[in-house]
Amino acid sequence: MPGLTIQLKRITKYGVLSTFTTALVIISTITFSSFAPSLAQVPIVAEAIISGTSQSPEITGRVVLSETAEGLRIIGTIANASPGEHGFHIHEYGSCANDGQDAGDHFNPVGVQHGHLLSHGFEYAHAGDLGNIYVNPDGTSSWDQIYPGLTLSDSSYSVAGRSFILHADPDDFGQPSGNAGPRIACGVISIR
Ligand SMILES: [Cu+2]
Ligand SMILES: [Zn+2]
Residue ranges covered by each domain of the chain: 2-39, 43-191
CATH of domain 43-191: 2.60.40.200
Centre of ligand 1 from the C-alpha of residue 90, in Å: 7
What pTM was estimated for this model as a whole? Answer: 0.78
Q: What percent of the chain has pLDDT over 70?
A: 78
145 CB neighbour count, 10 Å cutoff: 14
Question: Strand pairing of 84-91 and 71-79?
Answer: unpaired
H/E element, 188: strand 183-188
pLDDT of residue 92: 98
Q: How far apart are CA 64 and CA 80, in angstroms?
A: 19
More confident position, 125 or 44: 125
Q: Per the residue annotation, which of 86, 91, 162, 171 is the catalytic one?
A: 91
Q: How far apart are CA 182 and CA 101, in angstroms?
A: 9
What's the chain's average pLDDT?
A: 85
pLDDT digits (tens, 9 = 90+) for 50-66: 999 999 999 999 999 99
Q: Is 120 assigned a catalytic role?
A: no
- Give, as one character, the DSSP assignment of residue 88: E
Centre of ligand 1 from the C-alpha of residue 44, in Å: 25
